[in-house]
A and B are shown apart, each in its own frame.
Chain A
Amino acid sequence: MPETLKFHFTPVDEARAEEKNVHEKASTNVADTVEVLQGQFPGAIAKVSVYAGEYTAFVKRESLLQVCTALKETLGFTYLVDLAGVDRFCEDAPRYEVYYAIVNLDTGKRLRLKVLVDEEDAVVPSLTGLFKAADWNERECYDMLGIRFEGHPDLRRMYMPEDFAYHPQRKEFPLLGIPGSLPLPPRVPEGELTMDPFAAARSGSPAKSYQEPKGEDA
């Protein structure tokens, strides 16, 4: 007899306000930084949420650059660890959000910023002028979700071919893709090859999908 399989739902963990979360760490407690920001830019931070001792500041899109400049230049948050987009796919607009994980290397403090992005107007100011690390992350976010970054020097797709018509991490995109949207080499030996990854070796110009971004000294 096969064993009867059971499905266990994850138990609901009610919020315990007075109890200290065991996962709480001092490095994510940035109450003072958030307070400084709120005082310096009144109205720029729409909401601050705290969970497990982690502070998340919901920054308004139009004041993101101001807030990040202040964070980097006066508050010492010089290291952009991560930047990515999320398709929240929930009823209440806005649909997307972009989060930024920023670290102060001197004090070891971590701060998370979030920008809510509306589906109709999915544009966020680019942070490449402040943090060079934002470059490829913003390209990835644009590739996967279609959020455009205003002021990005080279906003091309990161992973998918440049003529790809969809943004695959949007929730409406089917997991198995859309048949025919990505070209394969021909099935017969004498068929013509459609993409030339080694065009530069024949002094041609490579297909755009294979082009590397220009280096600093180029």
Chain B
Amino acid sequence: MNSTTGYLTTTVDAVVNWARSNSLMPMPMGLACCAIEMMAFGGPKYDVGRFGSEAMRFSPRQADLMIIAGWCSYKMSHAIRRVWDQMADPKWCIAMGACASSGGMHRCYGVVQGVDNFMPVDVYIPGCPPRPEAVIHALMDIQEKIRNEYSVTQDYTSGQKEIVELSARPGSLTVEGRKVALDASSLADA
């Protein structure tokens, strides 16, 4: 085929998602022993650089993937939430290990029983601690999620507007990016 006459069709989404998914910059929130496995995940043997995530950013402003590695106490939850709020959108979160996902063996008064009690989590990794392969798998799941995202306005819907079903959690985002209202009456003008 002559290179001057060939062409390629794609969407902006495909390009943007390809770029985003292959350059995730993790914010390592190392709280306990899982952080040691997270270092192996970043180190030369498991080499997360193959997936474009070798640049760990210790500033939330430069990161778009938070890896919460370890158990989170009630005192620490406020700091984690603040760092999460400082990360620029779009951002994703991995709860690494049993403790971050559910409190794990720390079933006691001082440990938050899962970080999803105060912030959104995209992928949960089981294990105590998980092996670096499992962390890489979680990263690949995040990449898969990003590649299926629609970052620009959906232009393929037409006709009557869809009635948005109320989700279980008020305040979460709908497919169209609107906030789910607290009651059905405030949806009337939507």
Binding site for B on A (CB under 8 A): 159-161, 168, 173-178, 182-190, 193-198, 209
Contacts and interface: CB of A to CB of B under 8 A. Distances in A.
A190 B171 CA distance: 9
B75 interface: yes
Given A175-B107, A189-B171, A194-B78, 11 more contacts: A161-B75, A176-B107, A177-B108, A182-B110, A185-B77, A185-B82, A185-B119, A187-B118, A188-B171, A197-B78, A197-B79
B7 interface: no
Nearest to A160: B110
Contacts of A173: 109
Given A185-B119, A187-B118, A193 B110 contact: no
A175 B103 CA distance: 14
Interface residues of B, number: 19
Nearest to B170: A188
A186 B117 CA distance: 9
A201 B42 CA distance: 30
Contact of B118 (A161, A176, A178, A184): A184
A91 B169 CA distance: 49
Contacts, number: 60
Interface pairs A-B: 5 shortest CB-CB: A177-B109, A185-B81, A188-B171, A182-B74, A195-B78
Contacts of A189: 85, 171
Contacts of B108: 175-177
Contact of B110 (A168, A185, A187, A195): A168
A184 B77 contact: yes
Contact of A187 (B75, B78, B82, B171): B171
Contacts of A185: 77-78, 81-82, 118-119
Nearest to B79: A197
B112 interface: yes
Contacts of A178: 109
Contacts of A182: 74, 109-110
Contacts of A161: 74-75
